[in-house]
Structure 1
Amino acid sequence: HEVRNVLAGLHGATATLRRYEDRLDPGVRHRLEDAISAELSRLQYLVDPPKKRPCEAVAVKDALEPLLVAERELGSLIRADLHRASALGCAADIATIVSALLVNARVHAPGAPILVRSRSAGSTVQVVVEDGGPGIPSHLHESVFARGERGVATAPGSGLGLYNARQLAEQMGGSLTLGPRPLGGASFVLSLPAAQSPTR
């Protein structure tokens, strides 16, 4: 499931590089190349995971920016507000969780704007993914994380994305929940232990 998501992002980024070749602004080309490199590393991690997942200080902004570049190439309308906060966890797993949330928004709120932001909250670092779609009814706020649950029976997918994302969050000592809905759609909150005092 996660491998398919990474491959989709890689396809979008490489297609843009091929399509526009030398017409790309050097800065844009550099960001796309960095995104491809980072996503290839994450793909390797997913295909051949280490026996023991690394738990270290992760700069959330650095972990997520390549993913957001790749997702934008798939047509997602993403705005980011990422602080330079460090969380305790695994960079590849953090990116995989946020990737699942972005795919969820793309499936259930196609064309809707998405806001990805990070913030410090006491002893935790939070990553919030909000979309402007129809939202999730309050009575489904827990069941959407169940294995095989797709929310809408006719929606594409295996129903594993949010389940796997929550499992990864909990393995890092964190949590994944649904929060307030400032954009009117779904708002997922990933909370992880802070590795150090966050700085802007």
Structure 2
Amino acid sequence: MPFEETLTGAPTTRDAAATGERADLLEMLAKHRHFLRFTTRDLTDEQAGLRTTASELCLGGLIKHVTSVERGWADFIVEGPSAMGDFTSMTEADWAQRADEFRMLPNDTLAGVLADYEETARRTDELVATLPDLGATQPLPKAPWFEADAHWSARRVLMHVIAETAQHAGHADIIRESLDGAKSMG
């Protein structure tokens, strides 16, 4: 997604196709994506994979996870619950593969993780700008954490992606500060 840095460093959308509510949603998402990416500035691949807190989280893994989540929800907007699968029937191997989203694997590079995130962001932004109706709903996939028979609109999905990105940008800020004292803000 094209953006320009403001004086505060937060991105501002400049996508002519997105106006009104869509522009607002994309701008908020871009702001939180920026802060998440910013936590990895000047890091090596090894540093991006380091755990600096009691949790299993590392900066590269957080970006991999947010990329996967955003991609999955964008697919859900278009394809419905089949894009995400049935979480109630996941095997131990499925959960192990999902856990790999949270860490840098031997063949992962920070540049590759960031490029994948950028491509996912571009695709999501294009979807938001061109979606015929933000109010269109899909039934949620089966999962123990979702209310049974609930439906989410594209709008609600986007708000969820924004919240998830913001939450993980905060986690990333703590991890980065624990790594070398660098902060995203302040």
Provide the TM-score with structure 2 as the length reference: 0.32
Higher relative contact order (CA 8 A, sep 6+): 2
Which structure has more helix as a fraction of its residues? 2
Provide the TM-score with structure 1 as the length reference: 0.31
Which structure has more strand as a fraction of its residues? 1
